[in-house]
Amino acid sequence: MEIKTYELDPSATELIEILREKYGSHKDYDYFLNDIKKALSFCANNENVSFYPVAGYENGKMCSHAALIIDKRRPAKEAFFGFLECPEDTAAFGILWNALIKEARDKGISV
């Protein structure tokens, strides 16, 4: 799996595709998707938040995703993670998680 940080496009096309594949058959998927889009927009377009998405790709297709979320109103060296989606594969999760932790450490985050 290849790990990349990337700029979130306004429609979050690749992430939405992962969500559609995993959850699209659930009866409340549209409600869920609406909330995810609002949350992504809040994080990506908020003057108090720095949003760093990290994704795993296999054969050029996004297969896993996480984001480092740094809110400047929180204590220094503290951040959140979110938008975590990963295949049911322990190795893939480990690769993604380690990349997210590296991104956090590179930005001076320890908590």
Q: What is the pLDDT of residues 26-38, one digit of tens each?
A: 999 999 999 999 9
What local confidence, expressed as pLDDT, does residue 111 receive? 84
Round to whole Å and give the CA distance between 70 and 73. Answer: 9
pTM: 0.87
User: Is there a contact between 77 and 83 (Cβ–Cβ < 8 Å)?
Assistant: no
Query: How would you label 59-88 residue by residue, b for 16+ Cβ within 10 Å and e otherwise?
Result: eeebbbbbbbbbeeeeeeeebebebebbbe
How far apart CA 8 and CA 12 sit, in angstroms, is 6
Residue 32, classified by CB atoms within 10 Å of its CB into exposed (0-12), middle (13-18) or buried (19+), is middle
pLDDT 10s digits, 38-95: 999 999 899 999 999 999 999 999 999 999 999 999 988 999 999 999 998 899 999 9
